[in-house]
Amino acid sequence: MPEWTEVALRTLSAVTILFLITKILGKRQISQLSLFEYITGITLGNLVGYISLDTDTKWYLGFVALFVWVVVSAGAEYLTMKSKKIRDIVDGKSTILIENGTLIEKALAKERLTIDEFLEQLRKKDVFRVADVEFAVMEQSGDVSIMLKKEYQPLTANLLGYHISSEKEPRTIIMDGHILPETLKVTGLSENWIRKELRKLDLTLDQVTIGQVDSKGELSVQTGQDSLPKSASSSPNDQISELVRQLQDDLTMRKQLASNDKDRLKYQEALDQFQTAMHAYRKH
């Protein structure tokens, strides 16, 4: 067999085996790696390169080494799932960098993290002031997770006292001009319903690149050139209603975030006066 043919066949074999190994070891091997997984990835790459190009007569021993590494890696992952102590040894522990708003310099030194690198990690989280951070921890993967102080956390519906119904993910029922039967069955809709909705949009099935159904049962489609249906322009009354709602929400938020009862009372009075004025306006 010519040498180039042998190298090609060995490379194809090595790639196939490496693909199977990655499937066996799981998706974690291709996402955020622990120290042990990082070492495993480098070693497997070197072994595959040896199997592909080394013309030594005992090149097949590279497959033995691959097998041993797979057994060790799979065994280590199994043990880390079963034992917290082994997990701490293999994957390492997270390190607290900021606690109760105070930066821990010893923790930065332990992780060999400079101030510049730490600030870079904060900026990646859209945080530009260390004083805004209540708690920060370096995970085993090397990523830094943070929790802002309460006064700097984004407002949520729960903080404002609003009860919002749960939202379900949109279901993709059309892809590349073809209906996806399994997803369609989950939604409880039929192909006839899809074709009826497409006729309303003056489209045929083969014109649709992506079609999705939201939690309200409404179909939206992408044709590759346009997105349908388009949002209807708001009428003046709708725009006024939206502004009124925003003003009421703003007053309610300011009342709830007020630091004392006196300010809360003022916001409540302003809210009452505003609602009275709007009620009189609607009567006219």
195: domain CATH number is: 3.30.240.20
80 contacts 91 by C-beta, under 8 angstroms: yes
Please state the domain count of the chain: 4
- CB within 8 Å of 155: residues ≥ 6 apart: 253
Q: How far is the C-alpha of 29 from the C-alpha of 40, rounded, in Å?
A: 9
- Is residue 47 located within the same domain as residue 78? yes
Residue 127 confidence (pLDDT) above 60:
yes
CB atoms within 10 A of CB 146: 18
- Is residue 10 located within the same domain as residue 25? yes
Which of 200, 228, 256 finishes a domain?
228
- Is residue 85 located within the same domain as residue 107? no
Residue 230 confidence (pLDDT) above 60:
no
More confident residue, 128 or 281: 128
Q: What is the DSSP string of 199-257?
A: HHTT--GGG-SEEEE-TTS-EEEE-SS-EESPPPPPPHHHHHHHHHHHHHHHHHHHHHH
Average pLDDT, stretch 120-139? 92
- Is residue 7 located within the same domain as residue 73? yes
More confident residue, 88 or 23: 88
Per-residue pLDDT of 72-90, as tens digits, reads 777 877 887 788 888 777 7
Share of the chain above pLDDT 70, in %: 72
Query: Of 35, 44, 24, whose CA–CA distance to 90 is shortest?
Result: 35
- Is residue 198 located within the same domain as residue 142? no
What is the structure's pLDDT at 10? 67
- Is residue 208 located within the same domain as residue 266? no
My answer on whether omega of the bond before 229 falls inside 30° of 0, hence cis, is: yes
* Residue 162, in any domain of the structure: no
- Is residue 7 located within the same domain as residue 81? yes
What is the structure's pLDDT at 86? 80
DSSP element (H, E) containing 103 = strand 102-103
* Residue 247, in any domain of the structure: yes
- Cα distances from 98 to residues 111, 114, 122, in angstroms, run 13, 14, 12
- Is residue 54 located within the same domain as residue 72? yes
66-70, 82-86, 229-233, 257-261: lowest mean pLDDT where? 229-233
* Residue 116, in any domain of the structure: yes
What is the structure's pLDDT at 154? 77
* Residue 56, in any domain of the structure: yes
Average pLDDT, stretch 171-182? 91
* Residue 122, in any domain of the structure: yes
What is the structure's pLDDT at 29? 47
What is the structure's pLDDT at 210? 92
- Is residue 15 located within the same domain as residue 71? yes
Which of 89, 107, 123 finishes a domain?
89
- Is residue 26 located within the same domain as residue 77? yes
State whether residue 102 is helix, strand or coil.
strand
* Residue 159, in any domain of the structure: no
Confidence of residue 31 (pLDDT cuts 50, 70, 90): very low
* Residue 128, in any domain of the structure: yes
- Is residue 83 located within the same domain as residue 143? no
Domain, as residue range, for 111:
95-152
174 contacts 210 by C-beta, under 8 angstroms: yes
Q: How far is the C-alpha of 97 from the C-alpha of 115, rounded, in Å?
A: 11
Which of 44, 70, 89 finishes a domain?
89
Q: Cα–chain-centroid distance for residue 193?
A: 32
State both tokens at 143.
Answer: 């990523």
- Is residue 64 located within the same domain as residue 102? no
* Residue 148, in any domain of the structure: yes
Residue 65 confidence (pLDDT) above 90:
no
